[in-house]
Amino acid sequence: MLSMIPNAAYAHQLSRHADGVEKSMERLSSGTQLNHAYEDPADFAIAEAFSKQGSAAREVSGVIQDGINILRIGQDGIRGIVDVVQSLRDTVVAAANGSIHTPEQQAVFQQELDVQKGLLVQAFATAKNFRVKLDGEPGDGADRILHFQVGTGAGEVMSVDYNPLRDTLRELIMGAFGYEELYNNPDTFPFLEGAFSPVPAPGDIVPPPPLFPPFPPGTTFAEAFPKQLVIDPPSTLNIASSFAVLDTAKNEIVAQETYLGACAIRMEHHLAIMQQFEVNMATAESSIRDTDMAAESTAMTKSQVLQQASQAMLAQANSRALQVLELLRPQ
């Protein structure tokens, strides 16, 4: 006996194949085979973990690049100071050979030094105005330590002593000018205001330790911090003093420039690691989440063929039921 109810199996197959077509279209259009957690909860969770780790690595890479740029700013600032010191030293070297210079020429060398050393104060002021101060912070200590995140973990931090040159630069400027010249020059007096509060007069007595190094009782500030960059007259003592103040400062400044360069190389190494880690996480996530376009296109075509076949079978089943009804209709 023929059933008058359309074949339920055909209807179920039609619905199932229609769902298959819809899922394939969603995966092909999005490029993702895991659009919902209910499709595969385990793989979805793993893919999400890979995505989060890759995102963290990408963020850390940006932080590391910022750190490298900061260190390069520091190196460039230090290099500017080194260039000024080297120029001053070249002038001292030229003036040191007193046998071929007249007193007038020696005075010209001293005048050249006095003009060039003004660049030291300018370099110091420029350094203080950098986004990250090249001369450290008041009080130094931990204030000048920069911490850079170089990994995705809480403890993966690289610490850099950004610039312990604050005292070195102050001593260099003090030795190049001398306290009295700094005090009496309106252009350089602001430097003393940054070092002393209030600013003592050149004739004031230097206080005892611990605020200042020990000096003989009654030593004035002008006597405690004399001008050391002197080549006129070209005495052996003056030449030695000029070389000493410049070479001591240059050695310490170049050492810090080298240290920052080494830190930048380390950070570039960390950057390469993070960038590779990001690529690895993206590859791992892609292997789970991304759609295999060829396979999914084949699956959609198969579902479409089966859907059409189910529609034809359901239509045939409904047609048979209509034929039976037609036979039962009264003539």
- Nearest in space to 132 (alpha carbons), one of 81, 73, 75: 73
**Of 37-41, 126-130, 216-220, 322-326, which gets the smallest average pLDDT?**
322-326
Distance of CA 260 to the CA centre of its chain: 13
- Nearest in space to 168 (alpha carbons), one of 251, 84, 86: 251
Of 142-151, 210-219, 259-268, the range with the highest mean pLDDT is: 259-268
pTM higher than the cut 0.75: no
Structure tokens at 314: 């359901």
Rounded Cα gap, residues 96 and 188, in angstroms: 27
Q: Which residues share a beta bridge with 146?
A: 160
**What are the pLDDT digits (tens) for 9-50?**
656 565 665 565 666 666 666 667 666 666 667 777 787 788
**HSE-up of 48 (CA within 13 Å, CB side)?**
10
Q: What is the DSSP letter of 220?
A: B
Over residues 101-114, the mean pLDDT reads 82
Structure tokens at 232: 């006129």
**What are the pLDDT digits (tens) for 266-301?**
999 999 999 999 999 888 877 777 665 666 667 667
Over residues 202-210, the mean pLDDT reads 90
pLDDT of residue 247: 94
pLDDT at residue 130 is higher than 60: no
Confidence of residue 201 (pLDDT cuts 50, 70, 90): very high
Confidence of residue 116 (pLDDT cuts 50, 70, 90): confident
> What distances in angstroms separate CA 128 from CA 166, 183, 190, 191, one per listed residue?
10, 20, 13, 11
Rounded Cα gap, residues 279 and 261, in angstroms: 27
